[in-house]
Amino acid sequence: MRDVFHDEMDEIGAGVAEMIRLVAAAIDEATGALLGGDLGRAERVIEADVQVDALREDLEDRSFQMIARQQPVATDLRTLVTTLHLVADLERMGDLALHVAKIARLRYPDLAVPAEARDVIAQMGDVAKSLVQKVADVVEGRDIQLAQAIEAEDDSMDALRRKLFTLVLSPRWGHGTEAAIDMTLLGRYYERYADHAVAVARRTIFIVTGVRPSPLANGLAGLG
């Protein structure tokens, strides 16, 4: 028989899954707005971020209240404490998608991304989307076998960021400093989005296995 405690745990889990869906949609829409120079789409991403923020606050409060009132032990406590971390990562992923959308909006009606950088940025968007979908599978299905695939996608995001830098630093880059700054920030935003996605996956695997995952690599530090 189900009890109130586990119903509430399930609802918190469903809330986390909903946050993942929202931040997955946000990065996908933000990439679309960026590559399409679509102001309306960018605005919608920016406006939708309040939902992610509200959900984080709600889930954080509920997790805290569960810990305070129910005094859960073992796996339930670990799940609730991990939820506090997950929702922080997910909120940040929402912020990063919003930052991508703001660059699209800032350059409208121009395209922020010059023609020769489109492929790399599109690939970063694809990797982000694929990564967050795998993270959803880990969190919803607790399929920890996906862990390796997630790390591999994170590596490919780092490789794409290096490719983007190579492009911008090439003598053939003819788009000036402003576009170089935009590409630098976009590269950083997608990379950090991926880092947080990996952190969510690792935290979830920690709930399942009880083994603390290795610390999140620092990713590309500076350009090094």
3-state helix, strand and coil shares in percent for the chain, rounded to the nearest 5: 85, 0, 15
Q: Which range of residues in 2-10, 100-108, 132-140, 203-211 is near its own copies by CB under 8 A?
A: 100-108
* Of 38, 95, 153, 191, the one binding its own copies by CB under 8 A: 95
Residue whose CB is less far from its own copies, 1 or 115: 115
**Do the Cβ atoms of 139 and 106 come closer than 8 Å?**
no
Task: Give every CB contact of residue 58 below 8 A, 6+ residues apart in sequence.
Answer: 15
Q: How far is the CB of 37 from its own copies (least distance, A)?
A: 14
- Residue 85: left if φ>0, alpha if ψ -120 to 50, beta else—which one? alpha
Minimum Å gap between C-beta 69 and its own copies is: 9
Taking the complex as a whole, the smallest distance from the CB of residue 222 to its own copies amounts, in Å, to: 4
Residues 142-181 that bind its own copies (CB under 8 A): 165, 168-169, 173, 177-178, 180-181
**Rg, C-alpha atoms of the chain:** 19
**47 touches its own copies by CB under 8 A:** no
Counting contacts by CB under 8 A, is residue 188 touching its own copies? Answer: yes
Confirm if 164 and 120 have CB atoms less than 8 A apart.
yes
DSSP 215: P
State the number of binding residues for its own copies (CB under 8 A).
41
CA distance 70 to 6: 11
Considering beta carbons, is residue 51 or 184 the nearer one to its own copies?
A: 184
Contact between 81 and its own copies (CB under 8 A)? yes
State yes or no: residue 215 binds its own copies (CB under 8 A). yes
Query: Minimal distance in Å, beta carbon 56 to its own copies?
Result: 9
184-209 burial string, b = 16+ CB within 10 Å, else e?
A: eebbbbbbbbbbbbbbbbbbbbbbee
CB of 208 to its own copies, least distance (A): 16
In order, the DSSP letters of 35-58 are HHT-HHHHHHHHHHHHHHHHHHHH
Residues that bind its own copies (CB under 8 A): 53, 57, 64, 67-68, 71, 73-74, 77-78, 81, 84-85, 88, 95, 98-100, 102-103, 105-106, 165, 168-169, 173, 177-178, 180-182, 184-185, 188, 212, 215, 218, 221-224
